[in-house]
Structure 1
């Protein structure tokens, strides 16, 4: 039986998709896999807990600072070339982390790992836009979102298993063979870059325009809200409602599990009905979910909290697929890396805002500088106030998208 060109094309696209999803998985695993090892690292290197957090902060700093640069380098030097370089850097940095004998070396290696992860996240999205067909672009973006959620959710549990069997060094070394495999796949499966002389350097000011800015602003707001659920949720469930650590952990896994299940279907909805209706629907679900979280906090009900997460999380997946598709849909090929970098940068800024400003709002609303010292009633009140504010941010995001649509008309 002969292999038709269509079958060869489908096989090639599946290979490309597998390579890009593995790259995204590695970057998201790097974000969360080391968190479980922080107490062990503090004991091993004899550093206080306030200092050992730099193992996480260094990675996020390298990721955030390098995201836009990775996209620009991809546009200038070729998306495949820079992705492969990012994989090599990520793998070498992971190995250095696993072999580190000094805490400062570990932190520096984690920063380098974050720089490599910026290439993986940014250029995977740009290459997916370049290689996926127009009719499958939404589900392709949804798949990347699903893999990102899977890596973040899987990181702590995988890290705990590795520490129990091999020690803390295994948390970093386990990423090395996966990175080697992804590098080989990228070299073999990804389409060749265009010739260097056809790849132009694009000034940032020519990319940031009135069409793009609303998508980036909304991306910041949504990322801030999602980080708020991760920061405030454990305090509310543990101190406000009185769940045990195990129960809190189980409830907190509901969101990532829903993300995994709803990612690709959300992309299919975007392909079927268009990005703009899906974007508005996703934001409306995010607004409803945050307001339900505020209501559940007042009631102090675990079932209400889970119901709110069940509304919020599919809304986020729908938003992510639609917003990524809208942002990259009409971007010229020589600018896709830069625009993907801007998407990643806006997301990281939103995560920082959620982890700092929204966390500060929660502490203020709880009436205690240290929320762990507040009463359960004060924790619930602070949670309600914080998520009500998050709902306000989602209403602002909806207004931003609607206003941008009116301006275009």
Structure 2
């Protein structure tokens, strides 16, 4: 989980240097980030299913190797578009790591310690997210932008060795028991690519392109659903999503991830424009979030093992709800400390929720579907992050221009108020979605449908 998280966060800080080095426009250089995210988002479910069929250890090793080779290619790139191509290939490897890391841990750990393992993965992911900007900035300043990708190549080599020594050889479907749904993967990839591009680019630059992306994504989704209902070995078991255990789990994760991205997108603008913090001060405040997630991750997993998925899931979501309330009210009253209080509550709640959510999802899944289930968790998180960056950023920008019908003036204060007001609604919605599967008549404490074991 460290490498994919680093791959997402470490390259952002190098974008200004890359723009100068390749004499590129801001729009073109953004493809260094977008190419990586598109590969991860579109391929993560397909790669997870490949792990179920051909063995998770084997596919994970291939993914790590691809990531390492692509990192070398990125470091040696002589043009911007070669770098973008290398980053897209890097995303293929990252998709394998993100989709199969959770499933591989579930294979290794005893069931009663799954929560601790999921909490540890959350801690490692948070460390990668927090470490990326600072490590990337130092490498670019001292050695140049190539060093960013050279370091990732070396880390990939170390990760490959560790995975080879530690991971079990199990997790492979029996010969002839499953086939790979190529058509389903292509259709899902087309839908996800269209959605990701639409969320990133929107309709503002080219309305025709926006409408085309929306139409293409919708058609691909309809075709995907039709195909998955008919094939014998579908990429995604739609009946399980609709009637079974996993659907509420994924929806809640997507909603909460949208909220978390809102804190990352809105925070720097509010802290600098409203509270007058310098870039360094704003960066320090923003680093508190990943720091809290890293500290809470492992204890959160232990709480899941001790008290069960249900209680920790609810506790985490309540922490997120409280955090959105604090972020809506306190910063405009007490300034930076108010923002920090809301950020700490939201991030700690997210760490609790994620550890419990992942544990609940993986504990009730058969071995031959763990890879694709792990991939769906990663996909839900990625879609939430993409939606948060676009939709919540748009809410903040629009609200900051003033909301006359609510008698609210212009400025980032209004933007913060409405953005986290929307986030509060999303957090409550996530709590309701998770509770849809409970049977209160038979169980005094909610028994969630996705949590069948334990």
TM-score by length of 2: 0.81
- Corresponding residue for 2:161? 184
Quick check: 1:248 aligned with 2:276? no
Superposed CA deviations along residues 19-49 of structure 1, whole A, max 9, x for unmatched, are xxxxx11111111111111111000000012
Superposed CA deviations along residues 326-349 of structure 1, whole A, max 9, x for unmatched, are 111110000000111111111111
Q: Which runs of 5+ in 1 are unaligned?
A: 1-23, 369-374
Quick check: 1:49 aligned with 2:49? no
CA distance in 1 between counterparts of 2:139 and 2:421 reads: 39
Superposed CA deviations along residues 136-165 of structure 1, whole A, max 9, x for unmatched, are 110100100110010011011111111122
* Deviation (angstroms), 1:286: 0.2
Match for 2:144 among 148, 167, 172?
A: 167
* Deviation (angstroms), 1:367: 1.1
- Corresponding residue for 2:41? 64
More helix by share: 1
Match for 1:225 among 234, 256, 259?
A: 259
- Corresponding residue for 1:390? 423
- Corresponding residue for 1:264? 298
- Residue pair 1:297, 1:381 contacting (<8 A) in 2 also: no
- Residue pair 1:239, 1:376 contacting (<8 A) in 2 also: no
- Corresponding residue for 2:197? none
Partner SS state of residue 47, structure 1: coil
Partner SS state of residue 253, structure 1: helix
CA distance in 2 between counterparts of 1:81 and 1:267 reads: 27
- Residue pair 1:220, 1:347 contacting (<8 A) in 2 also: yes
Coordinate RMSD, CA, aligned: 1.8
Query: 1:2-401, aligned counterparts within 5 Å?
Result: 24-193=1-170, 197-198=174-175, 200-201=178-179, 202-203=233-234, 204-205=236-237, 207-210=240-243, 211-299=245-333, 301-367=335-401, 378-401=411-434
TM-score by length of 1: 0.90
CA distance in 2 between counterparts of 1:270 and 1:134 reads: 12
CA distance in 1 between counterparts of 2:417 and 2:102 reads: 35
- Residue pair 2:103, 2:374 contacting (<8 A) in 1 also: yes
- Residue pair 1:240, 1:300 contacting (<8 A) in 2 also: no
CA distance in 2 between counterparts of 1:376 and 1:29 reads: 39
Superposed CA deviations along residues 156-202 of structure 1, whole A, max 9, x for unmatched, are 11111111222110100111121112112222221113566346344
Residues 405 and 154 of structure 1: is their aligned pair in 2 closer, same or farther, counting only changes over 3 Å?
Answer: same
* Deviation (angstroms), 1:298: 2.9
Residues 271 and 99 of structure 1: is their aligned pair in 2 closer, same or farther, counting only changes over 3 Å?
Answer: same
CA distance in 1 between counterparts of 2:373 and 2:109 reads: 17
CA distance in 1 between counterparts of 2:27 and 2:306 reads: 49
- Residue pair 1:231, 1:355 contacting (<8 A) in 2 also: yes
CA distance in 2 between counterparts of 1:194 and 1:53 reads: 37
CA distance in 2 between counterparts of 1:268 and 1:139 reads: 5
* Deviation (angstroms), 1:115: 1.2
Which runs of structure 1 show a deviation greater than 2 angstroms over 4 or more consecutive aligned residues? Answer: 193-202, 205-210, 406-409
* Deviation (angstroms), 1:240: 1.4
- Residue pair 1:239, 1:379 contacting (<8 A) in 2 also: yes
Q: Which runs of 5+ in 2 are unaligned?
A: 180-232, 403-407, 441-447, 450-454
Superposed CA deviations along residues 200-255 of structure 1, whole A, max 9, x for unmatched, are 34422254342210001001100000000000011110101111111101111111
- Residue pair 1:72, 1:337 contacting (<8 A) in 2 also: yes
